[in-house]
Amino acid sequence: MAHLYELTAIELARMLRKKETSSVQITESLLNRIDSVEPNIRAYVDVTRETALEMASEADRRLASGDVRPLTGIPILIKNNMCFRGHRTTCGSRILANFVPPYDATVVTRIKEEGMVILGTANMDEFAMGSSTETSYWGPTRNPWNLDTTPGGSSGGSAAAVAACIATVSLGSDTGGSIRLPASFCGVVGMKPTYGSVSRYGLVAYASSLDQIGPFARDTADLALLLNLICGHDPKDSTSVPRPHPDFTTYLDKPVAGMTLGVPTEFFSKLENPDVSKACAEARSIFERLGVKFTELSLPHLDYGIAAYYIIAPSEASSNLARYDGVKYGHRAEKFDSMIDMYCQTRAEGFGAEVKRRIMLGTYALSSGYYDAYYLKAAKVRTLITNDFKTAFRTCDAIFCPTAPSPPFRIGEKIDDPIQMYLTDVFTIPVNMAGLPGISVPAGLSGDRLPVGFQLVAPHFEEARLVQLAAAFQKETDHHLQRPSL
């Protein structure tokens, strides 16, 4: 018989309703699993064991009284940049190592209202800046498929935990690919919803015009359920869009025949990795078997995506991270000569190298005399990229492309070469620039038995279409059922 920790949220919810198990039993199964495999993976910053067991007991009370919602009693892991009242929210940074928020992020409030069980907080690149979860102050997370490789980033802990069955589902955040890349590297499903569809209230800001929270799951059905929970308007986030969303689970069984997927020639001409090419070709033929048509199209400004992103994201970061000054909260240097020196020492000690690089890049790009040449230009490029997608969606329902240019790379391989690290996001960044929803779906294993994913991108607020396509694909394949041996 399968262990409780291996089951999907939907399977567990069914058992809870039939009283075949309890939320406490499920939570204990996961906590035991965490004890045995987490030391090798390090997907967690903190396992919030006592809180989890309390939440599970509360969920069992609700289940007994009939006050049940779809995910009541189901365990979840949240990325360590979402405020979790009473628990340190470090963002993978020394500067916030002791920060315990006095309030919950809106997604956390929703999780609590649903009666889900928060197992702990997930490791991440410092301030979500990175593609490998190696820049965390707490050390790297390892990919459960091969402990010498990275799980991708920045939401590497959230993805690795779901892949290793030390969390049933999880939440991450995606500014330039931080959900989709780790989903691809860990062989799980991950979605970045449309900008504005999930509240960012209580999400520690990296680049506010790009950041978006989204779900990870082992299959699309679980992902749809979690999406139902987190999507929706929030008056506490001024960029949250007041717009009702459909019940995403009603799209799990809709046929996809007659739909058209666009294939951007620029994406595929850049693709050199044979494992990724092969996985994409196989995925394409499965969709074709399902009656999906493919059409070639062009996104001509794609090439400028990374360059423009590395002006816009660091500019916003340099402004957002100015608040960490050692005065209000977080780390403060012990030795200093003056107030200015206190700021300088605190920030020098508190931030890691990559975060400092971004602050310098952004401050430079925004400085007087350079704003027009850099920031304004990048903002214009962003509009061109958005228009490319708009044009593309005239001829297709969604775009089909790789999630990442390669399977997972080795720990240490790119950490000293920022440009190589940045290039990992070549297929995901344009989607954030345009604010579109994107999903990464497991597409099989490489020759070295490492996961590969493909990406689908839909027009604004068409997450349901992504759920529909991904679910149809998963009915035809067993890629999402493969598990790493640990």
Q: Which of the residues 22, 79, 131, 240 is marked catalytic?
A: 79
Nearer to ligand GLN, 92 or 444 (CB): 92
Compute the distance between CA of residue 21 and CA of residue 370 in angstroms, rounded to an integer: 61
Compute the distance between CA of residue 428 and CA of residue 363 in angstroms, rounded to an integer: 25
437 binding ligand GLN? (CB under 6 A)? no
Q: Closest separation between CB of residue 292 and ligand GLN, Å?
A: 28
Catalytic site includes residue 208: no
105 binding ligand GLN? (CB under 6 A)? no
Residue with tokens 């228009």: 387
The residue from 130, 187, 262, 326 that contacts ligand GLN (CB under 6 A) is 130
Q: Closest separation between CB of residue 100 and ligand GLN, Å?
A: 23
131 binding ligand GLN? (CB under 6 A)? yes
Q: Closest separation between CB of residue 361 and ligand GLN, Å?
A: 11
The residue from 104, 234, 266, 425 that contacts ligand GLN (CB under 6 A) is 425
Compute the distance between CA of residue 146 and CA of residue 242 in angstroms, rounded to an integer: 43
Closest to 398 in 3D by CA, of 443, 441, 457 = 457
> 224-241 burial, b if ≥16 CB within 10 A, otherwise e?
bbbbbbbbbebeebeebb
Compute the distance between CA of residue 317 and CA of residue 204 in angstroms, rounded to an integer: 11
Binding mask 266-305 for ligand GLN (x = CB under 6 A): ----------------------------------------
Contact in structure between 411 and 145 (CB atoms under 8 Å): no
Residue with tokens 């990175």: 130
Nearer to ligand GLN, 165 or 189 (CB): 189
Span near ligand GLN by CB under 6 A; candidates 11-19, 122-130, 323-331, 389-397:
122-130
Catalytic site includes residue 178: yes
In terms of C-beta density within 10 A (0-12 exposed, 13-18 middle, 19 or more buried), how is residue 265 classed? middle
Span near ligand GLN by CB under 6 A; candidates 124-132, 238-246, 319-327, 473-481:
124-132
Q: Strand, helix or coil at 377?
A: helix
The residue from 101, 151, 152, 176 that contacts ligand GLN (CB under 6 A) is 176
Tokens of 254: 């809709």
Catalytic site includes residue 57: no
Span near ligand GLN by CB under 6 A; candidates 45-53, 59-67, 171-179, 395-403:
171-179
User: Within 10 Å of residue 242's Cβ, how many Cβ atoms?
Assistant: 9
Give residue 91's Cα distance to chain centre: 14
Nearer to ligand GLN, 283 or 317 (CB): 317
Contact in structure between 225 and 260 (CB atoms under 8 Å): no
157 binding ligand GLN? (CB under 6 A)? no
313 binding ligand GLN? (CB under 6 A)? yes
Q: Closest separation between CB of residue 309 and ligand GLN, Å?
A: 7
The residue from 129, 306, 401, 441 that contacts ligand GLN (CB under 6 A) is 129
Beta strands in 69-168 (DSSP E): 75-79, 117-122
Closest to 295 in 3D by CA, of 391, 166, 360 = 391
Compute the distance between CA of residue 267 and CA of residue 479 in angstroms, rounded to an integer: 23
The residue from 114, 174, 222, 463 that contacts ligand GLN (CB under 6 A) is 174
178 binding ligand GLN? (CB under 6 A)? yes
The residue from 120, 177, 362, 451 that contacts ligand GLN (CB under 6 A) is 177
Q: Which of the residues 22, 29, 154, 173 is marked catalytic?
A: 154
Helices (H) and strands (E) in the chain, counts: 16, 11
Catalytic residue annotation:
79, 154, 178
What are the residues binding ligand GLN (CB under 6 A)?
Answer: 128-131, 154, 174-178, 206, 313, 425
